Amino acid sequence: MKRTIIMLIVLIWPPAIWADGPHPDDFAFGYQLSVDKFGSLYKITLPEDVYQNVTRNDLGDLRVFNTHGEVVPHVLQFRQSDRAKAPEQLSLPFFPVFQPKGKSDKPLSLNVKTNAAGAIIMVTGKTDTDATSKISAYLIDVSHIKKTISELQLHWEGADSHFITTVSVSYSQDLSAWHTLVRAATLTEMLYGNHKLEQRRIHLPLRQAPYLRLQWPAGATDVHLTDVRGTVINKVISRPRRSFTLSGVRDADNLRVFHFDSKGVFPADQVNVRLPQINSLIQAVVKSRQNADDPWRQRCRGVFYNLRMDQTDMQNPVFSSALTTDRYWRLEILSDTGGMGNNPPRLELGWTPNDLVFLARGESPFTLAFGNADMRPPAPTDNLLLEPLQNKTKPASLIRPAHIKERIQLGGASRLNPMPPPIPWKQWLLWVILVAGVVFLGFMAWNLYRQM
């Protein structure tokens, strides 16, 4: 009897005793990673197809293995951990540059007076201005700002209800040699029914310069600037932004609704709607959800347009959204005014890939494995993995880059589908033991009855 009990315990417990962690072949695909063997922590930026082949929106079905198939700890660094502080908007001093009427084809000579700190205090032309002079440009002084300006925001007066112009921006270090910074930027202020279309911002390449010059052709129509503000960024995010465009499918029951499928879990934080036909304008709301049965959540709402006026194309700016990894997207047109035409719109999503930091334990090459519908996320290792770096002055310098090599197939695409539920052999074995025990007790009772 004792031997029977021991055998039953051995039969029931071996999976728990010999249980092992995941193996590379448990995942659908992978990437070979090479390291230089001079560090402990290495970092890669996740490739795009990782987001297309994982089955969890938290990237929980992703592991890093060494050459012996052992799992090594890793940490995912999301974009919000590197997000800069809210940008500042500073008022910038600006000075008009006048061009005498009828002499626009001749070069204009200016006298620019600066103080000891390099700030502009006065701008005058060598030719005296008169009542016929028009503003042709503005000098913008940013010499007192030590941080980088990412965009200009302009306000003006004297424009009619359909104002549109194209400007250019140059920069200079000494007010003598000028270099083009923005070749052409469209500014507009238009009224269309109950909608007001405004574009007052000029995005600037990240370049440090004390002086800017804004060419202002609208000065010929007596439109002049009243305020110039600069957006100062406190921290430059070096991670490259990416975007992709999705084709829409019209809803069968509602012609003003379009559906989009990103076929992945991309961490998107920018949304835009591209209207294919020129002179299209709609008011719409964009929603998303992770699964087909989840409720829709609103991501942005506004006016989307694709207009052409005076041989100048205008498109609405990109809308910012809360960071989401939702797969399914929905566009709802709020007004049925025929402002789009029959061609379906396209949805553009902007996103930033995550960084993955892993501990190079064991021998290389390492393998980044991803894609398993039945895999649970690993235990959090953020604090354990990065805690040794907290006392360092520059912890980022201790994380070395790893190199992504060719993509490989591990367990194949079948790993992306959930496996059938396992056979409940433990329950079956328990029932067999119980039945066998009942039979054994019955046999003993029958023997005892015969003896009596």
- Tens digits of residue pLDDT in 390-421: 455 455 568 899 999 989 999 998 888 876 66
Over residues 173-190, mean pLDDT: 88
Within 8 A by CB and 6+ apart from 360, the residues are 35, 37, 39, 40, 41, 42, 66, 72, 366
Confidence of residue 47 (pLDDT cuts 50, 70, 90): very high
Q: Residue 388 pLDDT > 60, yes or no? A: yes
Residues in the chain: 452
pLDDT at 381: 61
pLDDT at 32: 95
pLDDT at 234: 64
Q: Which structural domains are found in the chain, ordered by start?
A: 24-83+354-416 (no CATH), 88-232 (2.60.120), 242-351 (2.60.120.260)
What is the average pLDDT value for the chain, to the nearest integer? 81
d(CA 283, CA 162): 19
pLDDT at 81: 39
Q: Residue 119 pLDDT > 80, yes or no? A: no
Bridge-partner residues for 42, per DSSP? 358, 400
Question: Does the model's pTM come out above 0.85?
Answer: no
pLDDT at 13: 46
Cα 345 to chain center, whole Å? Answer: 21
Q: Residue 327 pLDDT > 70, yes or no? A: yes
For 290, list phi and psi in degrees, rounded to 5.
-80, -45
pLDDT at 17: 41
Bridge-partner residues for 369, per DSSP? 30, 63
Q: Side by side, which strands form the sheet with 134-141?
A: 94-99, 134-141, 211-215, 162-172, 179-192, 195-199
Confidence of residue 232 (pLDDT cuts 50, 70, 90): confident
Within 8 A by CB and 6+ apart from 119, the residues are 93, 141, 143, 144
Find the largest Cα–Cα distance for the chain. 136
